[in-house]
Structure 1
Amino acid sequence: MIRLLLADDETMIRAGVRAILATDPGIEVVAEAADGREAVELVRAHRPDVALFDIRMPLLDGLAACEESRRAVPETAVAMLTTFSEDAYIARALGGGATGFLLKSGDPYELLAGVRAVAAGGAFLSPTVARHVIDTLGGERLTKGAAARARTDALTARERQVLGLVGAGLSNAEIAARLHLVEGTVKAYVSAILDGLGVKNRVQAAIVAHEAGLV
């Protein structure tokens, strides 16, 4: 069962999101918050598997709440749920430790798939957000590709293989099954990859994987 905290200052939005989540028997909403400060406190109290934060909330916005929650309870994965897809929001959310970025205007399936992906240790970007990121990187792709390849060259062959699967959105369990490894070994590889690349989370590692052509 995936235990989830939902934070949004709009009561109707929370009700709608909760109704979508209720269609998946494997997801349980264990707490709700109407502002960012309350959301962080509830993450500390409930230690959910996933915290789903709106970006624009009173007292503490979702981006700051994400950063505080990740510092306080690093085992809780954070996904952002918003109507906004501007570069600044995406960059700060990913830099703050979020591993999911979902749009309220997206298909309900994206919400369920995103929650399951981040709960399993993977990453999920709404297709609209992913397309925007790819388009934004387009003009710099060759330069970034060369830089990314230089960074991944420092990894072992097995680490590059695991990184490619992280970039493809696979969870640790899925990577373990694909490579016939135990999940603990995959976790160790992922930690070594993050350290080797100098990145904070799987989303940032996945971006390097795409830039390096490993996916």
Structure 2
Amino acid sequence: MRDGLRAVIEQEPDMEVAGEASDGREAIEQFQRLLPDVMLIDLQMPDVDGLQAITAIRNGFPDATIIVLTTFPGDARVVRALTLGATSYLLKTARRDEIIKAVRGALSGRNTVAPEVAQEIACHAGHENLTEREVEVLKRVAEGLSNRDIADALCISEDTVKARMKSIMGKLGAEDRTHAVMIAIRRGFMDARP
């Protein structure tokens, strides 16, 4: 993917690739060293993920222009990335000319959100999001823990776990615990917090 992007960008007379990184930590270091006009970043990276990298970069450089280019369309993940300071959110399925257009747009102060991503956000607009505590409970469910084990792990009562599960299932429209986990993963709740 990086090779293809580099080749496309290098064909543009007014653009050049300032640097590349293979993980989030290296992306942060490269940004600090090179101070690019625009940064393209994936969310799924080894060591430090994209959300953590966005946070670190924007903490040091609040005006940084960061475009997320990823395979993950889940609405919670998108909202989190944009909230942390990403200026645009594209999927890796985007055509190369769409990526170049988004880079040019970002330089002009325009934000771009892939149409399928915008549709995902719109589908869940107005729905209540999961709280951090609900996500913690759901992560334990995904690990296969019982309500008792979850209660012990989070130092809460088993009744509190049951109440949170009821709330989670209602918010997600899930039929059971497994369905709730599947929906939460698809929408990006399970990895939406750095």
Cα gap change, 1:95 to 1:118, in 2 (>3 Å): same
Offset at residue 23 of structure 1 (A) = 2.9
1:89 equivalent among 51, 64, 77: 77
Identical positions, percent: 41
2:56 equivalent among 55, 68, 79: 68
Offset at residue 82 of structure 1 (A) = 0.4
Letter in 2 for 1:86: G
Offset at residue 77 of structure 1 (A) = 0.4
In the alignment, the residues of structure 1 paired with residue 57 and residue 79 of structure 2 have an alpha-carbon distance, to the nearest angstrom, of 17
Q: Which residue of 1 aligns with 2:123?
A: 135
Offset at residue 91 of structure 1 (A) = 1.4
Instruction: Give a deviation string over 1:67-111, Cα, whole Å, max 9, x none.
Output: 111111223201101011012210110111001101101122211
What are the equivalent positions in structure 2 for 1:151-166 lying under 5 Å apart?
none
Q: Secondary structure at the match of 1:42?
A: helix
Q: Which residue of 2 aligns with 1:104?
A: 92
Letter in 2 for 1:61: D
Q: Which residue of 2 aligns with 1:116?
A: 104
Letter in 2 for 1:49: D
Q: Secondary structure at the match of 1:30?
A: coil
Letter in 2 for 1:46: L
CA RMSD of aligned residues (A): 1.7
1:55 aligns with 2:34: no
Q: Which runs of 4+ in 1 moved over 6 A?
A: none
Q: Secondary structure at the match of 1:33?
A: coil
Letter in 2 for 1:77: T
The 8 Å contact of residues 36 and 62 in structure 1, kept in 2 or not, is answered as: yes
Offset at residue 138 of structure 1 (A) = 7.1
Q: TM-score, normalised by structure 2?
A: 0.62
In the alignment, the residues of structure 2 paired with residue 128 and residue 138 of structure 1 have an alpha-carbon distance, to the nearest angstrom, of 18
2:7 equivalent among 19, 43, 52: 19
Q: Which has the larger radius of gyration?
A: 2
Task: Single out whichever of 106-115 and 92-101 deviates more from structure 2.
Answer: 106-115
Letter in 2 for 1:56: Q
Any stretches of 5+ residues in structure 2 without a counterpart? 129-194
Any stretches of 5+ residues in structure 1 without a counterpart? 1-12, 141-215
In the alignment, the residues of structure 2 paired with residue 130 and residue 80 of structure 1 have an alpha-carbon distance, to the nearest angstrom, of 14
Aligned residues: 128
The 8 Å contact of residues 67 and 86 in structure 2, kept in 1 or not, is answered as: yes
Q: Which residue of 2 aligns with 1:203?
A: none
